[in-house]
Amino acid sequence: MKPHVLMMAGWAHPAEALRPLADALAGFAEPRLLAADEALPKLDAPAFLLGWSLGGLRILDAALTAQAPWPGLILIGTTARFCAATDFPHGVSTARLRALKIALRKTPETVLRQFFVDEAAPAQLAPAELEARVQGALALGADRLAAGLDALLTMDLRERLASPTTPVLVLHGRADGVIPCAAGEALAERFVFSRFVGFEGAGHDLPLRAPEPLVAEIKFFLETF
């Protein structure tokens, strides 16, 4: 029987954004796609949890909260805290994120276009792909986008990560300009059973741009646990 994998997308992305990765995993897993603001469904069988960016934060929060049979976590471009703090330099300033939230209400297309450019860096998006991502984000609606930013402003899971024993695979682009690679490394260090894999030259849109390199790592993880 193939293992179930619940896959949660990042901020400003619909659940279907992870379809290419889900299709690549379908040969050895049963994937189910979720947006970052969707609740985890109740399942009769154990399921691995896979989250990207804000989806990774949500997945991590759910795994720490719910007493459910999660055999392992797969966190892509994820952090335990998105905003920087005096004891956590691996994030963006709170002021910058609040300013982004205000600008999103006024000029959403401009804000989203710049976000997707930053997300893809150091690679460049083709104009058609950039426009498709912007339109996909706008379709989510202003309230859902703002709620996602609120979550990024407030979520801090570090204190709850007291050497958890759930196996975790952390995958991160080493050129990630949205969530620094150091944040992913720090996250992996919090787990007793963890594997960190950094991808050279890859940015924050790692699971969208090149899902194939992730597949071998994920397959090995699923077969191990």
67 pLDDT tier (thresholds 50, 70, 90): low
Q: How many CA atoms lie within 13 A of 110 on its CB side?
A: 8
Do you know the residue count of the chain?
225
Domain presence at residue 88? no
pTM for this predicted structure: 0.96
Last-in-domain residue among 107, 127, 152: 152
Mapped to the 3 state alphabet, what secondary structure does 89-100 carry?
CCCECHHHHHHH
Query: 115 and 28, same structural domain?
Result: no
Tokens of 198: 């950094």
What CA–CA distance (Å, rounded) separates 5 from 25?
Answer: 9
Number of compact structural domains in the chain:
2
For 85-126, the pLDDT digits (tens) are: 999 999 999 999 999 999 999 999 999 999 999 999 999 999
Q: What is the domain extent for residue 146? A: 94-152
Q: How many CA atoms lie within 13 A of 208 on its CB side?
A: 25
Query: 148 and 169, same structural domain?
Result: no
For 3-60, the pLDDT digits (tens) are: 999 999 999 999 999 999 999 999 999 999 999 999 998 888 889 999 999 999 999 9
Domain presence at residue 193? yes
What CA–CA distance (Å, rounded) separates 39 from 216?
Answer: 28
For 36-48, the pLDDT digits (tens) are: 999 998 888 889 9
Domain presence at residue 130? yes
Last-in-domain residue among 126, 152, 178: 152
Domain presence at residue 86? no
Residue 107: per-residue pLDDT? 98
Query: 169 and 74, same structural domain?
Result: yes
CATH of the domain at 51: 3.40.50.1820
Query: 143 and 163, same structural domain?
Result: no
